Amino acid sequence: MTAQQDDPERPLGALDAHYHILVGGQEIVVLRHTHMWRPPTDVMEGEDWLLIVVEIAGMQQSDFHVAVGNRHVTISGSRAGTRRPGAAYHQLEIRYGEFRTDVALPWPVDEENITARYEDGFLYVELPRAKTRKIQVTGTGR
């Protein structure tokens, strides 16, 4: 195994993907930096709730962004790395930088009563099922 020298200009976990595209007889090289990663995520359903558990240590509760809408939840944020300038890395398995996980909701949720808490390296987002509302039908009776 060879050691990888740390590049201070490049975040840990970033991969460079490049593409060669021919446009009008000219070759253009497109570099794409993929910084986004997806933390391990579990989704559990109860009778009237859905629980999303994201395993992501080393964060503060204010580092997370949780967005809900259109029967969809997006959890995102960024985890700072522990880099040492000039260090030679022999193994890199811990992901750093921007992350995002998306969960499709199986039914409408009560958006006013969603709770989220970060504890011991896990983010817990609990989404209660929306109550169905009965609508009174009116008319002329015909």
Q: What is the pLDDT of residue 30?
A: 56
The answer to whether residue 54 is domain-embedded is: yes
Q: Can you tell me the distance from the alpha carbon of 97 to that of 80, in angstroms, rounded to the nearest whole number?
A: 6
pTM, two decimal places: 0.70
22-75 residue pLDDT tens? 556 665 555 544 578 999 999 999 999 999 999 999 999 999 999 999 999 999
Domain count, the chain: 1
The answer to whether residue 16 is domain-embedded is: no
- Most confidently modeled of 33-37, 82-86, 93-97, 138-142? 93-97
Range of the domain at 58: 36-81+91-130
The answer to whether residue 97 is domain-embedded is: yes
The answer to whether residue 1 is domain-embedded is: no
The answer to whether residue 136 is domain-embedded is: no
Q: Which residue has the tokens 């109860």?
A: 46
Q: Can you tell me the distance from the alpha carbon of 127 to that of 97, in angstroms, rounded to the nearest whole number?
A: 27
CA dihedral 59, 45, 47, 74 (to 10 degrees): 60
The CATH code of the domain that includes 46 is 2.60.40.790
Q: CA quadruple 77, 82, 39, 10: dihedral positive or negative? A: positive
Task: Please give the structure tokens belonging to residue 136.
Answer: 């009174």
